[in-house]
């Protein structure tokens, strides 16, 4: 803990000097854009054979979705020699568009000039390419598509490998029709293993995956071309080219043979010995004799070059045991960092952020590619088949040329985005976090921004400037997590930018520590009895989503779920856990450990003991409190539902067991949970009531059967309205009204980390210190018998602002208005009561048949309609009956004082009125 | 160490050995590992630590040595497989030429860089030009011109009909006379001769007209296309297109006024129609539009003459979307022969000929092409079945016999597709083959006709057909046996199946909003229609009407 504090102190220092631009704070996020561009290229996944089912009887996953799932991991492969992958999107008809870091210049430029590269340059390029390859290999990937135009150069002339993930994401080329790699650069063993072509019936099996050494051969060819100043085997057709490569196996000295063939023996002979040696090593025919990239990198041929490079170190992630700022070095003169004034601030933002903003500013990938004529689509009417058999196989459809691969990368212009952001002041990019009052930057546009805050969430999420400011703010807050936890909470109440939602939720759930190590120690492989159920549930969970329906998504689902089941031996897997896992997995697709950690933190907070093997007592109590909440907030609806026997047990179990993830699509869950995570464990009740209220008219108009039908396929719910209304309901609910004896027991005090100030609404009732005035547990059958909730004496005192210390207590805004109704007889009332309470004896208010009697007292009651009405009596039974009568005649917000008047007697707050004359 | 014959997925087990000292003990950890290693190394490491209770001070050591072991062994495997493949070449197990040819083929067929250069396709160029023009101010001119051509064709057709009618009348009179004389001066044989003469005369006349029509359409089509190309060029040349437009507009407008004077051939039929909005999907919902229409199937094809403004708008709408990605399709139920000689097929052909198709080959040519493709498909199928005789298909024997009898006939559930630019509301017609089975009451969701519907919807997904019209009862005309219970049962089946297919479609195309029109024959009663329109919301769970009222 001490260490943690220390490094946050350091962080504050950095802030003051606007120093946090320093790279060492990049925590698991992508690199800044800097001088790079965004590039996009497109290709088609192969179409599935018509009408084939998988082994589980479900339809096969389209290849484009498989690729999309496999692509995700590439976003985490960050290395200075590799072009950062940013995003992939699926278009119509299995089209995929990949967005990645891009540079305009490549080794192809060298070739076009027709000059030879200097030996030093060759060595530099070779070394840098190998650095990239080694890093990929460490992550189990092979490039396979190395060629001159895929080795890009940044403006400093350093190598950036492009398209390095194509072989990985297409499952070694199995999911696409085109071969991966370029004919001249293919290694002999790759050629020998054959090409797989779907229309070719003689090859039923895909060729074996290639190893890392195939790239070394391709690199050899590439370097040879650089040395020779011409392209290899350019003028002969493909099959001759491939045959030539295969015949090289019989040659002793491949480099010389190639040089002779291309008439550049002299140029090659003149090369320094280490370059020649490098070429020979790369162009070794037999794979077993050829070095791997890692071996070659440590080879003496690079002895002059290697000392110029420092090995790459992965930036430390937010959740790790090592120090995030350990390697921070401040320059002697801090002002050095603030020199460049007219800096391009946008390009200092991470690549994925820039891309996200580019999309918000109206960027459209398909349009960009269509303009450059990479996407050429024929009108669909021209490509219709003539004839279709009963099993769906179609005939008479010519091969469409627009489906051919054109892997040219198109640069995405940032002009529109820059133009959009030209008015954003420089300070906005580096907000100071010290000022707790206002976190929005004080610039010209701040007025505009504060106006934006009032707009609907959907609009805010599409507003480029607003998102820029919010992302920057959250990015900085999260980098300072857990020190800036309070500010994260504060800002999350405004909204959470979608781009950082995963980490923001983790912060709200209080995730800390080395979660990766913890996750790795959990055994996710050994079969357990739950496996079968998990296997059945996963292919049915949020499968409309591309990520979650991909095979990679399924694998990750399985691992996270198993990890949770294995690490919680006292709990079991209930159907619904899969849905609960879905949002976390979606947001942290590349970080299973974080998904697991979030889920493990979420469940005890909101679903304590819901996953017990015998969870009936927990759920029964929960549902009973829920039905009390319905009658508290909407007595008319409650009366109707009870009348037709449509009780929460019939519909609400999946709501609460999955915290609504089973009933809503992901994008709605995100907005719902953004608020849910800020509230306490009783907030879900309010969401439930808000959903019912949205369907109120239909429920009231229908009987049991229609209601069951209605809820079996829940109609569209306006989620923003639902959130707004549930917050309103929450504010009207006294905290103790949702007391549950099976709720999570209070946490041990003092583990509150960095002093998170708990507010009235975010803290749980259970977390409050327990006193005599708190609520006492109630047997389930007694609880079920009462229509209205009980509230504690504590709450009553707090809400009526009755306090022994006098009414000095600061009134909190948004506190519900309350009125206490004393139903004891007049004599009892005059002997002592709460000040401000009104006396309506039971017998005076209701006739024997439960109708409200017209009398002055009930008139007063009518005037207080809409306030929270607390019924106080001697015996709980009569109070409960009084409350039930009131609900019957549609009085909202009725509750009962737990323990009755006797609870209050020891407090000494009862007053005796001076006799009135 | 076992090894298979170099097949992908071949696994070999290797043993990882790790030695370490714990206190005074020398411990050896042996782990059998399956190669290629599929699982995550960190997970494996974590599990080993847990399972064997390995002391934490050697945690990192174990991890490095484990990952090194796996890395090295994997490289060895790669090398071995690679060299095996090279060896197969030198030993001649694999033919070099075949191998390199396969590579060449896959490059040539899949990549633009190596593909053969595209021969310019006139059709597609015309499509582009037309699409551009119809979305420009010139669209009005285009439509007017098309309409003029239509008028001249229909004049020809009415002339033909008149002449044929005259001939028939004359022949009838003659025949009457002959019949009158039958038994007196003339024998049966004479009557037969006269009849065959009549028939021949009719044939000659019809042929004459047919060839004339064909010629006129050919000329029209050519003129039209040339004109469109020229207009496009002119527009491109001059920037002030408005001026030219004015010039072009004048002439056709005069003509169209002329056309207006032509009698309205088709009176607006009193159609019954009801629309619904539905949301499909469990969590993520997609909105679709459904419509229940009582009309004749050919009403969607027939042109109404200019004059009623709705007709012109409809015409414009169809023209605008012809080369777009929101096409309209229609399902036509046909028998098992690909031609246009009888029944609904002939009626459809008649409608299709009423107006020249300026974009696609005429129906006859399209059908000829389909016949070729059907034969090709049968040949493909039978050669494939010979390759894999072990797959028994239920009812397959029965069907194959049928096919052997006449390979050019199609089977129930199969369909062919024709494309049209000259129909009023439809671009694509699916000719779905059904047999007499659909008239019986007991078809199931597994019926070929239903499977055909599913495939049609699938083609709609892959080819951007966003509106499709389906005969709800799977018949175009009502007959005696189609009682009220029969209708209700059939409608329920089709509704339910289409709903299922539409939900399935969401996974094919990612949830695009569509319009499905259910068509019922004109001859069903109004009462029946409303019964069906009550059934639809129950099956599709229509929500919109109620949500509207729930807002305050």
Residues in chain B within 8 Å Cβ distance of A550: none
A570 in a structural domain = yes
Mean pLDDT of chain A: 84
Domain ranges, residue A532: 515-606
Domain membership of residue A244 (yes or no) is: yes
Other Cβ atoms less than 10 A from the Cβ of A121: the count is: 14
Q: Please, which residues 529-548 of chain A have a Cβ atom closer than 8 Å to chain B?
A: 542-545
- Report if residue A52 sits inside a domain: yes
Residue A840, Cβ density class (10 Å: 0-12 exposed, 13-18 middle, ≥19 buried): buried
| A524 lies within 8 A of chain B by CB | yes
Domain C-terminal end among A583, A606, A629:
A606
> Does residue A844 lie within any of the structural domains?
yes
Whether residue A381 and residue B428 make contact (CB cut-off 8 A), yes or no, is yes
Does A645 have pLDDT greater than 60? yes
Chain A residues with CB under 8 Å of B456 CB are 388
What confidence score (pLDDT) does residue B268 get? 47
pLDDT, one tens digit per residue, over A772-808 is: 778 888 888 888 889 999 998 888 888 877 655 444 4
Instruction: Check pLDDT > 50 for residue A9.
Output: no
**Among partner residues B82, B111, B283, which is closest to A542 by beta-carbon distance?**
B283
Q: Which residues contact B394 (CB under 8 A, 6 or more apart)?
A: none
Residue B419 has its nearest CB partner, among A287, A384, A525, at A384
More confident residue, B402 or B334: B334
In a domain, A407, yes or no: no
Q: Å from B152 to nearest chain A CA?
A: 27
B377·A696 Cβ contact <8 A: no
Of residues B106, B131, B381, nearest to A195 (C-beta)? B106
Encoded tokens for B102: 């396969």
Contacts of B62 (CB under 8 A, 6+ apart): B18, B20, B29, B45, B48, B49, B54
Nearest to A28 by CA among A468, A471, A590: A590
ω into A482 cis (within 30 of 0): yes
Residue with tokens 């998102």: A467
Q: Does A378 touch chain B (CB under 8 A)?
A: yes
Nearest Cβ partner for B96 among A243, A287, A405: A243
Q: Which residues of A touch B81 (CB under 8 A)?
A: 193, 208
Is B323 within 8 Å of A379 when comparing Cβ atoms? yes
- CB of A908 within 8 Å of a chain B CB? The answer is no
Q: Is B506 on the interface with A (CB under 8 A)?
A: yes
SS3 state at A801: coil
Q: Give bridge partners of residue A53 from the DSSP assignment.
A: A59
Confirm whether the ipTM is greater than 0.85: no
pLDDT above 90: residue B353:
no
Nearest alpha-carbon partner for A109 in A125, A97, A131: A125
Question: Within 13 Å, how many C-alpha atoms sit on residue B346's CB side?
Answer: 3
DSSP state of A440: S
- Asked whether residue A536 is assigned to any structural domain, the reply reads yes
Domain end residue (candidates: A266, A286, A306): A306
Q: Is the per-residue pLDDT at A106 higher than 60?
A: yes
Residues in A touching B111 (Cβ below 8 Å):
178, 404-406
Of the candidates A178, A401, A713, which has its C-beta nearest B118's C-beta? A401
Of A242, A390, A665, the CB nearest to B414: A390
SS3 B13: strand
Residue B51 to residue A523, Cβ atoms within 8 A: yes
Residues of chain B positioned with their CB less than 8 A from the CB of A213: 75, 78-79, 82
Kindly report the CATH number assigned to the domain that includes residue A555.
1.10.8.270
Domain final position from A306, A321, A352: A306
Distance from CA of B520 to the nearest CA of A (A): 24
Q: For residue A693, how many C-alpha atoms fall within 13 Å in the half-sphere facing its CB? A: 23
d(CA A80, CA A160) in angstroms, rounded, equals 7
- Predicted confidence (pLDDT) at residue A289 exceeds the cutoff of 70: yes
- A657-702 pLDDT, tens digit each: 999 999 999 999 999 999 999 988 899 999 999 999 999 998 999 8
Cβ of A520 within 8 Å of Cβ of B43? The answer is: yes
Tell me if the bond preceding B36 is cis, omega within 30° of 0.
yes
Report which of A513, A509, A535 is spatially closest to residue A606, judged by C-alpha positions: A509
Number of structural domains (chain A) is 3
User: Which CATH number covers residue A865?
Assistant: 3.40.250.10
Does B4 reach chain A within 8 Å, measured CB to CB? Answer: no
Least CB–CB distance from B377: residue in A238, A395, A520: A395
pLDDT digits (tens, 9 = 90+) for B454-480: 999 989 988 889 999 999 999 998 888
B-chain residues near A394 (CB < 8 A):
459
In a domain, A489, yes or no: no
Selected residues 323-382 of chain B with any CB under 8 Å from a CB in chain A: 323-325, 327, 369-370, 373-374, 376-377, 380-381
Contacts of B49 in chain A (CB under 8 A): 521
List of chain A residues whose C-beta atoms are within 8 Å of the C-beta of residue B377: 387, 389, 393, 395
How many angstroms separate the CA atoms of B305 and A503, rounded?
64
Q: What is the pLDDT of residues B246-261, one digit of tens each?
A: 444 433 433 444 444 3
Q: Which residues of A touch B459 (CB under 8 A)?
A: 384-385, 388, 394
Q: Would the CA dihedral through A473, A479, A484, A486 be positive or negative?
A: positive
Tell me the C-alpha distance between B425 and B421, whole Å. Answer: 9
| Distance from the B477 Cα atom to the nearest Cα atom in chain A, whole angstroms | 24
User: What confidence tens digit (pLDDT) does each residue in A376-434 have?
Assistant: 878 888 888 889 888 878 887 766 778 888 889 999 999 999 999 988 888 888 888 76
Question: Looking at chain A from residue 783 to 812, which residues have their Cβ under 8 Å from any Cβ of chain B?
Answer: none
Please tell me which residue, B37 or A19, carries the higher pLDDT value: B37
State residue A780's pLDDT score.
Answer: 87
A 52-91 → B contacts, CB under 8 A: 59, 90
Tell me what pLDDT residue A180 has.
Answer: 92
* A378, A522, A544: residue with CB nearest B284: A544
Distance from CA of A386 to the nearest CA of B (A): 5
Q: Do B459 and A388 count as a contact with CB atoms less than 8 A apart?
A: yes
Buried-state track B254-290, b at ≥16 Cβ within 10 A, e below 16: eebeebeeeeeeeeeeeebebebebbbeebbbbebeb
Whether residue A302 lies inside any domain: the answer is yes
Which pLDDT tens digit goes with each residue over B205-249?
888 988 888 888 888 888 888 888 888 888 877 655 444 444 444
Interchain contact B545–A (C-beta under 8 A): no
Instruction: Determine, for residues A379 and B465 on separate chains, whether the beta-carbon distance falls below 8 Å.
Output: no
Reading the block at residue B56, the tokens are 């934490």
Cβ B510–A90 below 8 Å, yes or no?
yes
* Whole-number pLDDT of residue B251: 39
The C-alpha atoms of residue B216 and residue A195 are separated, in whole angstroms, by 53
Note the pLDDT of residue A766. 64
> In terms of pLDDT, which residue wins out, B515 or A57?
B515
Mutation for testing the B interface, residue in A108, A208, A596, A705 having most B CBs under 10 Å: A208
What pTM was estimated for this model as a whole? 0.88
Q: State whether A387 and B44 contact (CB < 8 Å).
A: no
Q: What's the CA gap between A538 and A582, in Å, rounded?
A: 10
Tell me how crowded residue A850 is: count the other CB atoms within 10 A of its CB: 12
B304-310 long-range contacts (CB < 8 A, ≥24 apart) are: B304/B264, B304/B265, B304/B266, B304/B268, B304/B424, B305/B151, B305/B259, B305/B260, B305/B262, B305/B263, B305/B264, B305/B265, B305/B266, B306/B147, B306/B256, B306/B259, B306/B260, B307/B260, B307/B264, B308/B264, B308/B268
Q: Is B452 touching A (CB cutoff 8 A)? A: yes
Closest CA to B459 of B495, B498, B508: B508
Between A869 and B241, where is the model more confident?
A869
């Amino acid at each position: 803990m001490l260490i943690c504090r220390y490094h946050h102190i350091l962080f504050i220092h950095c802030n003051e000097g606007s120093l946090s631009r320093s790279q060492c704070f990049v925590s698991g996020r992508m690199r800044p854009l800097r001088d790079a561009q965004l590039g996009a290229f497109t290709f088609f996944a192969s179409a599935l054979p018509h009408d084939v089912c998988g082994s589980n009887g479900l339809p096969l996953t389209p290849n484009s979705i498989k690729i999309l799932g496999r692509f995700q991991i590439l976003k985490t492969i960050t290395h200075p020699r590799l072009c950062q992958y940013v995003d992939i999107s699926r278009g119509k008809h299995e089209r995929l568009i990949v967005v990645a870091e891009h540079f305009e210049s490549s080794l192809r430029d060298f070739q076009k000039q027709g000059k030879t590269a200097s030996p030093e340059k060759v060595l530099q390029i070779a070394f840098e390419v190998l650095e990239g390859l080694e890093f990929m290999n460490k992550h189990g990937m092979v490039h396979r598509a190395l060629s001159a135009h895929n080795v890009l150069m940044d403006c400093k002339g350093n190598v950036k490998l492009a398209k390095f993930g194509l072989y990985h994401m297409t499952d070694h080329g199995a999911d696409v029709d085109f071969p991966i790699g370029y004919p001249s650069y293919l290694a002999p063993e790759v050629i020998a293993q054959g090409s797989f072509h779907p229309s070719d019936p003689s090859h039923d099996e895909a060729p074996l995956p290639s190893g890392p050494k195939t790239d070394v051969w391709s690199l050899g060819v590439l370097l040879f071309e650089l040395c020779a100043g011409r392209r290899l085997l350019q003028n002969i057709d493909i099959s001759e080219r491939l045959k030539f490569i295969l015949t090289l196996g019989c040659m002793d000295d491949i480099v010389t043979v190639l040089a002779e063939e291309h008439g550049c023996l002299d140029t090659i002979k003149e090369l320094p010995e280490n370059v020649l040696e490098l070429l020979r090593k790369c162009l070794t025919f037999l794979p077993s004799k050829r070095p791997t990239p890692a071996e070659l990198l440590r080879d003496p041929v690079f002895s002059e070059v290697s000392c110029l490079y420092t090995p790459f170190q992965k930036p430390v992630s937010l959740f790790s045991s090592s120090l995030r700022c350990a390697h921070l070095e401040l320059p002697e003169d801090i002002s050095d960092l603030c020199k460049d004034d007219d800096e391009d601030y946008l390009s200092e933002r991470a690549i994925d952020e820039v891309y996200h903003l580019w999309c918000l500013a109206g960027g459209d990938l398909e349009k960009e590619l269509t303009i450059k004529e990479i996407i050429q689509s024929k009108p669909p009417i021209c490509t219709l088949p003539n004839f279709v058999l009963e099993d769906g196989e179609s005939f008479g459809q010519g091969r469409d040329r627009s489906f051919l691969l054109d892997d040219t990368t198109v640069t995405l212009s940032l002009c529109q985005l820059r133009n959009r952001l030209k008015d954003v002041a420089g300070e906005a990019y580096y907000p100071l976090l010290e000022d707790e009052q206002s976190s929005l930057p004080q610039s010209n546009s701040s007025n505009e921004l504060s106006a934006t805050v009032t707009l609907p969430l959907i609009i805010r999420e599409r507003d480029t400037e607003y998102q820029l400011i919010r992302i920057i703010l959250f990015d900085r807050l999260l980098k300072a997590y857990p020190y800036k936890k309070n500010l994260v909470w504060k800002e999350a109440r405004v909204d959470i930018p979608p781009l950082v939602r995963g980490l923001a939720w983790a912060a709200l759930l209080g995730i800390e520590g080395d979660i990766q190590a913890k996750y790795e120690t959990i055994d996710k492989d050994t079969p357990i009895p739950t496996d079968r159920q998990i296997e059945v549930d996963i292919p049915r969970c949020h499968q409309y989503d591309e990520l979650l329906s991909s095979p990679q998504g399924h694998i990750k689902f399985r691992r996270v779920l198993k990890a949770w089941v294995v690490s919680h031996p006292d709990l079991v897997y209930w159907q619904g856990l899969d849905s609960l896992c879905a949002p976390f997995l979606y947001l942290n697709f590349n970080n299973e450990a974080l998904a697991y950690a979030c889920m493990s933190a979420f469940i005890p907070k909101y679903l304590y003991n819901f996953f017990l093997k015998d969870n009936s007592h927990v759920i029964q109590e929960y549902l009973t409190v829920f039905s009390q909440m319905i009658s508290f907030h909407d007595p008319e609806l409650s009366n109707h539902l009870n009348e037709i026997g449509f009780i929460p047990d019939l519909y609400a179990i999946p709501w609460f067991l999955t915290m609504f993830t089973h009933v809503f699509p992901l994008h709605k869950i995100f907005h719902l949970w953004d608020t849910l995570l800020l509230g306490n464990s009783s907030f879900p009740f309010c969401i439930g009531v808000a959903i019912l209220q949205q369907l109120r008219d239909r429920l009231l108009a229908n009987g049991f059967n229609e209601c069951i039908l209605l809820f079996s396929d829940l109609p569209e719910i306006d989620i923003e309205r639902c959130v707004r209304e549930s917050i309103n309901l929450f504010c009207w609910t006294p905290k103790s009204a949702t007391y549950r004896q099976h709720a999570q027991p209070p946490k041990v005090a003092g583990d509150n980390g960095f002093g998170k100030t708990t507010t009235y609404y975010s803290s749980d009732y259970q977390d409050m210190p327990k006193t005599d005035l708190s609520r006492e547990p109630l047997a389930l059958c007694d609880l079920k018998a009462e229509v209205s909730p009980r509230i504690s004496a504590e709450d009553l005192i707090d809400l009526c602002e009755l306090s022994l210390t006098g009414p000095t207590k600061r009134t909190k805004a948004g506190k519900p208005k309350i009125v206490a109704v004393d139903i004891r007889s007049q004599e009892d009332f005059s002997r002592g009561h709460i000040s401000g309470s009104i006396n309506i004896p039971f017998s005076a208010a209701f006739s024997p048949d439960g109708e409200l009697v017209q009398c002055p007292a009930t008139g007063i009651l009518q005037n207080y309609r809409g306030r929270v009405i607390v019924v106080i009596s001697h015996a709980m039974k009569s109070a409960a009956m009084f409350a039930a009568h009131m609900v019957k005649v549609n009085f909202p917000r009725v509750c009962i004082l737990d323990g009755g008047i006797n609870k209050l007697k020891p407090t000494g707050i009862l007053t005796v009125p001076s006799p009135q004359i | 160490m076992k090894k298979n014959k170099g097949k992908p997925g071949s696994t070999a087990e290797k043993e990882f050995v790790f030695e370490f000292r714990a206190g005074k003990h020398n411990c050896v950890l042996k782990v059998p590992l399956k190669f290629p290693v599929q699982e995550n190394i960190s997970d494996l490491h974590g599990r080993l630590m847990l399972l064997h209770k390995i002391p934490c001070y050697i945690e990192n050591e174990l991890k490095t040595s484990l990952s090194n072991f796996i890395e090295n062994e994997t490289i060895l495997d790669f090398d071995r497989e690679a060299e095996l493949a090279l060896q197969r070449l030198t030993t001649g197990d694999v033919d070099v030429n075949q191998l390199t040819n396969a590579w060449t083929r896959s490059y040539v067929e899949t990549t633009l860089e190596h593909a053969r250069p595209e021969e310019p396709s006139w059709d597609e160029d015309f499509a582009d030009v037309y699409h551009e023009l119809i979305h420009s101010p010139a669209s009005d001119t285009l439509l007017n011109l098309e309409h003029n051509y239509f008028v001249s064709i229909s004049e020809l057709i009415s002339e033909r009909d008149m002449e044929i009618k005259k001939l028939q009348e004359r022949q009838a009179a003659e025949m009457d006379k002959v019949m009158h004389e039958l038994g007196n001066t003339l024998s049966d044989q004479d009557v037969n001769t006269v009849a065959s003469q009549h028939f021949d005369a009719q044939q000659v006349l019809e042929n004459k007209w047919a060839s004339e029509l064909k010629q006129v359409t050919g000329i029209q089509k050519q003129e039209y296309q040339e004109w469109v190309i020229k207009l496009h060029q002119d527009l491109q040349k001059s920037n002030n297109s408005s001026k030219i437009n004015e010039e072009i507009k004048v002439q056709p407008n005069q003509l169209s006024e002329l056309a207006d004077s032509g009698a309205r051939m088709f009176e607006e039929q009193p159609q019954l129609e009801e629309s619904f909005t539905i949301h499909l999907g469990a969590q993520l919902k997609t909105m679709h539009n459904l419509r229940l229409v009582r009309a004749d199937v050919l009403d969607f094809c027939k042109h109404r003459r200019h004059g009623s403004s709705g007709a012109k708008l409809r015409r414009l709408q169809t023209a605008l979307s012809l080369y777009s990605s929101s096409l309209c399709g229609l399902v036509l139920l046909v028998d098992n022969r690909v031609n246009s000689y009888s029944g609904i097929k002939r009626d459809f052909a008649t409608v299709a000929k009423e107006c020249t198709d300026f974009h696609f080959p005429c129906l006859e040519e399209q059908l000829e092409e389909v016949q070729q493709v059907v034969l090709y498909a049968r040949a493909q199928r039978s050669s494939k079945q010979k390759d894999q005789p072990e797959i028994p298909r239920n009812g397959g024997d029965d069907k194959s016999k049928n096919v052997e009898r006449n390979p050019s006939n199609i089977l129930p559930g199969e369909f062919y597709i024709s494309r049209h630019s000259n129909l009023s509301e439809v671009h694509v017609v699916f000719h779905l083959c059904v047999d007499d089975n659909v008239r019986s009451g007991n078809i199931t969701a597994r019926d070929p006709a239903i499977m055909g519907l599913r495939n049609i919807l699938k083609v709609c997904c892959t080819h951007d057909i966003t509106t499709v019209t389906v005969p709800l009862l799977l018949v175009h005309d009502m007959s005696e046996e189609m009682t009220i219970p029969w209708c209700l049962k059939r409608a329920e089946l089709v509704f339910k199946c289409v709903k299922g297919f539409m939900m399935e479609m969401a996974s094919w195309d990612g949830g695009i909003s569509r319009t499905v029109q259910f068509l019922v024959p004109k001859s069903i009663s109004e009462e029946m229609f409303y019964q069906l329109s009550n059934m639809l919301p129950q099956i599709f769970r229509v929500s919109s009407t109620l949500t509207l009222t729930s807002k305050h």
